[in-house]
Structure 1
Amino acid sequence: MSAPIGPETAIFKMEPGEVLKQAIYTAASILRAGGLVLYPTETFYALGAIPEFAQAVQKVFEAKGRDVRKPLPLIASDIQAVLTAASEWPQSADVLARSFWPGPLSIVVSAAASLPSVLHAQTGKVALRISSHPVASLLARASGGLIVSTSANRAGEPPPKDRGAIDRELLHAVDALLDAGELPGGLASTIVDVTVHPAVLIRAGKIAWEDIRRVLEG
């Protein structure tokens, strides 16, 4: 089921049935212990950590070489988990969530006080979504409801669709990889900020801005 990548890193093949359940359980245990895990999403591989663990979040920035002024987005297992990460949940967020979740739309809302400032780069905001990828969703649920979800690449490099495209230094910096083979790639998730009115497009992505505006105005 697993094979070493580096001195403290393991790869878990995403096979159906009990093998998949055990791999996700093990990966979730690693995350809950403060470790880092690479996992599949609808488009690319992502780098995950428990968002409430400031040291783990800092390790994500270091592993990616990411600018600490750039907040990290989250994947939630369900709407209850989303609400634990948000200090406010405006009607516009609820409308978008009902229309596009689970799926590649991250909604930026005011962050809960339980989230460390390093996660949201002291902006007081956090981007949240519920993933339609079963492994990402199950991992979030097994990890307590929320996981960091930033692309599994070094800063400035393209996001990886398969294990072979993941930077070797990044592989050695994490504790495990949930390997689901080659992913579809394509556009990343769309990011929309609903802490302001009208809502603002932060990043164009898989869900068209025109469709989002139509829902908000409908």
Structure 2
Amino acid sequence: MILIPMSTEFGKGPLNKHLKDAAAILKSGGLVAYPTESYYGLAADAANEAAIRRLFQIKRRKPGEPILLLIPDVGSLKRCVAHVPEAAKRLMDAFWPGGLTIVFEAQKDLSMLLTAGTSKIGIRLSSHPLATALVKAMGSPITGTSANVSGEPPCRTPRGVFNALGKGVDKILDGGETPGEKPSTVLDVTSYPLTILREGIISKKMLAPFCGALN
């Protein structure tokens, strides 16, 4: 089902009910699609192994590919991350919330489906109001993978998500058409020099002043 927000006042009216319903679906092991700064994302409860397995199934995603997470606030990092380097703190101050996914050393109890056995996890604090409202309603990390079949173009509209994934998604939060263009930039801070794994919305030139040496 597609949920159409009736108000932009987060925390009030029909939209607040939709968000509570979406959070309840996630907490019960369901999947919810939501808009981000670039494309639609697909949320599962990051602490629910069965939900993550279901996400892999409907995306037809290979288990050896890691999944990034969205967090409700910086304080939630400790649930997922073993260590936050000083460089990461500078980067978070500069680019969060926004289009930077930072790859940290993962907590040992984090699902290997999320880390793909790398002992690392990508984390982002979104700047999109609806994505932010969803993860805050959840109160804990959610998956931030794209809402599409792996290897296929990412989706910019709720209809695109439905056409791609069908009834495999329990709810779609309709934020209209997303900008598309570039995805988030992915930066690994677990070793020095820091390494750009994917250059996206935030360019290497923008990152350089906060990183020292950068690959």
Q: Calculate the TM-score normalised by the size of structure 1.
A: 0.92
Shift of 1:144: 2.2
The alpha-carbon distance between structure 1 residues 59 and 19, as it changes in their structure 2 partners (threshold 3 A), is same
Number of the residue aligned with 2:98: 103
**Distance in 1 (alpha carbons) for counterparts of 2:78 and 2:175:** 29
**Distance in 1 (alpha carbons) for counterparts of 2:16 and 2:116:** 34
User: Is 1:210 aligned to residue 201 of structure 2?
Assistant: no
Q: Unpaired segments of 5 or more residues in structure 2?
A: none
Number of the residue aligned with 2:6: 15
**Distance in 1 (alpha carbons) for counterparts of 2:156 and 2:132:** 18
Q: Unpaired segments of 5 or more residues in structure 1?
A: 1-9
Q: Deviations over 1:152-189 (max 9, x none)?
A: 11011111111222253513111110011111111000
**Distance in 1 (alpha carbons) for counterparts of 2:90 and 2:120:** 19
Q: Specify the SS of the correspondent of 2:211.
A: helix
**Distance in 1 (alpha carbons) for counterparts of 2:28 and 2:127:** 26
Number of the residue aligned with 2:151: 156
Q: Specify the SS of the correspondent of 2:45.
A: coil
User: 1:58-97 counterparts in 2 under 5 A?
Assistant: 58-97=53-92
Structure 1 segments (4+ residues) deviating >6 Å = none
Q: Which amino acid aligns with 1:13?
A: I
Number of the residue aligned with 1:194: 189
Q: Is the 8 A contact 2:156 2:177 kept in 1?
A: yes
Q: Tell me the matched-pair count.
A: 209
Q: Is the 8 A contact 2:87 2:211 kept in 1?
A: yes
Q: Calculate the TM-score normalised by the size of structure 2.
A: 0.93
Q: Specify the SS of the correspondent of 1:166.
A: helix
Q: Which amino acid aligns with 1:76?
A: I
Give the root-mean-square deviation of aligned CA atoms. Answer: 1.3
Q: Which amino acid aligns with 1:36?
A: L
Q: Specify the SS of the correspondent of 1:217.
A: coil
Q: Is the 8 A contact 1:40 1:133 kept in 2?
A: yes
Shift of 1:116: 1.0
Q: Is the 8 A contact 2:148 2:164 kept in 1?
A: no
**Distance in 1 (alpha carbons) for counterparts of 2:172 and 2:162:** 13
**Distance in 2 (alpha carbons) for counterparts of 1:162 and 1:169:** 11
User: Is 1:122 aligned to residue 113 of structure 2?
Assistant: no
**Distance in 2 (alpha carbons) for counterparts of 1:85 and 1:135:** 22
